[in-house]
A and B are shown apart, each in its own frame.
Chain A
Amino acid sequence: MSKLHELFSNPAIESFGKALRIAVGINEDYASLVELDYVEKEEEFVIALKKFLRRLDAGGRRYEREHPSKFAFKPNEKDLDEVIKLAQEYGVRIVCAALMSHALVRSEKGEKTE
């Protein structure tokens, strides 16, 4: 199994990947996609992730307002710590590649809610 596949299957990456898929597919947040595509350093990655989460939060709040009975998906704090740890361990480029790979995958049914 290649390193990229290992990372792709990591639960924290899966969680953030799902969030990115929602952000790109539903919230039309292409800025985060571009930012994650071009980051090379850890500091840049942290900033890109921060902006991405802020945009995801805004999109989520809008969704919850439009669908009062539903909750938008958000990755938890533990996943965030794990993703940062993985970026330090494996490098930013490969973690970003794993995250973006999740955006290529077909969404699960009813993915917007959790």
Chain B
Amino acid sequence: MFDVFRAYGLAFSITGFRGEAEVEIIDKHYAYYVDIVNGSVSDRPDAELFADISMWEGVFGKGKLRKDAKKKPTKIACEEILNREYKKILDLHSHEDYVPEIGNDHKDCETLYQTIDVSASKGFREEKMGSTYHEGSQLYVDRYSWVIVCIGRVFFGTRIARGGRKKGYVLTVIPNPEKVLLHEQRQFQKDLDLKYLCGLSPNATLVHYAVKLSLLLTKKRPTIEYSNIVFNVLQKTGQKPKPSGGGKYSLDLLEKLSMSRSGIEVLEEFDKEFALSYVKGIRQDVASALTDFLLRPTLENFRTFESLYIRGQIDKKFYPWEKEQLEEILNHVEVA
């Protein structure tokens, strides 16, 4: 997730809101390639990046500016570093062999937050040894990478919180750019309707998000191509949220479905099932089974979904499938 945010952040710090340069992000699998397709790179960053305080506060909190504070609030620190070191940041990232410095050494480095990547959480990486309590160590990253990763997180990460204050979870998602024009990506984010996202479990939310994304992608190809969704989950505990998992969810299955008319209808139907999963009973059971099936389209998961759906159909809760639509689903069931 750190690298994806870096790619988006670097691209956005080049274009800013002004959009003088048209930038494309390509996933080369060993690295992200940020290419300037059109226009030229400005010699100073766009001040608008830091104009909307609420966007920054929404991600990193308010952070009081005290005289005796050791560190400045994230937004202010980012603004200062970007204005001061803009040319160096661009210069460093123009080298293909540039690798960010990550480690426990905090000289000239900044803290990598849990909000950016769950693997940066304290006590997540070290082995627990003996009976002595140790809360774990902080992870630091060089300030050049830190600035762009923060920009990427603020403007391109999507935070979805579900459940209560104590039992809920926070899911952070970002689509992995296979090939994306940055200004198209910004528009795509605005167009993506995240209302009524399923809140049954982090997996269900993730899959529902992926379904909505795939539906919108059918209208946006070929300027936007995603290969998967990178996600992090934080579990709320009543105190600070704790890391609960993360990974990549491949969009292969949903992409294959979205290739045909009946496949798109299937996705629209899935979207409805998820959106109505706030109704307790069979609807929630079907949404859970559908989540499992879309995560792993095995015969067993399909049978669970099928069996529950028929029961819902008998109770007049669901409509029957059109034959072409069901065939489209069956086509992607993996049989061992």
Contact = CB atoms under 8 A, between A and B. Distances in A.
Interface residues of A, number: 23
A103 B321 CA distance: 9
A105 B331 contact: no
A97 interface: yes
Given A30-B314, A100-B306, A104-B306, A8 B327 contact: yes
B323 A106 contact: yes
Given A5-B331, A97-B299, A106 B322 contact: yes
A94 interface: yes
Contacts of B320: 104-107
Sorting the interface of chain B by its residue count into under 10, 10 to 19, 20 to 34 or 35 or more gives 20 to 34
A2 B310 contact: no
Given A8-B330, A106-B322, A101 B299 contact: no
Interface string B125-156: 00000000000000000000000000000000
Contact of A97 (B302, B323, B334): B302
A97 B310 contact: no
3 tightest CB-CB pairs across the interface, nearest first? A106-B320, A5-B330, A3-B335
Contacts, number: 65
Given A93-B303, A94-B299, A107-B320, A4 B335 contact: yes
A28 B325 CA distance: 25
A24 B321 CA distance: 15
A37 interface: yes
Contacts of B326: 8, 101, 104-105
Interface of A: 1-5, 8-9, 24, 30, 33, 37, 93-94, 96-98, 100-101, 103-107
Contacts of B299: 4, 93-94, 97
A104 B313 contact: yes
Contacts of A9: 327
Contacts of A1: 331
B309 interface: yes
A31 B7 CA distance: 56
Nearest to B306: A100
Interface string B292-331: 0000000100110011011001100001111100110011
Given A33-B310, A37-B307, A101-B306, A4 B322 contact: no
Contacts of A97: 299, 302-303, 306, 333
B332 interface: yes
A2 B331 contact: yes
B307 A100 contact: yes
Nearest to B325: A105
A39 B319 CA distance: 26
Contacts of B333: 2, 4-5, 97
A110 to B, nearest CB: 16
Contacts of B310: 24, 33, 100, 103-104
Contact of B335 (A37, A94, A96, A107): A94
Contacts of B307: 37, 100
B335 A2 contact: yes
Contact of B330 (A2, A24, A93): A2
Query: Which of A8, A93, A100, A101 has the largest count of B CB atoms less than 10 A from its CB?
Result: A101
A94 B300 CA distance: 9
Contacts of A96: 303
A113 B302 CA distance: 30
A2 B303 contact: no
Contacts of A33: 310
B309 A2 contact: no
B304 to A, nearest CB: 10
Given A4-B333, A105-B326, 12 more contacts: A1-B331, A2-B333, A8-B327, A24-B314, A93-B299, A94-B335, A97-B302, A97-B303, A100-B310, A103-B313, A105-B323, A106-B320
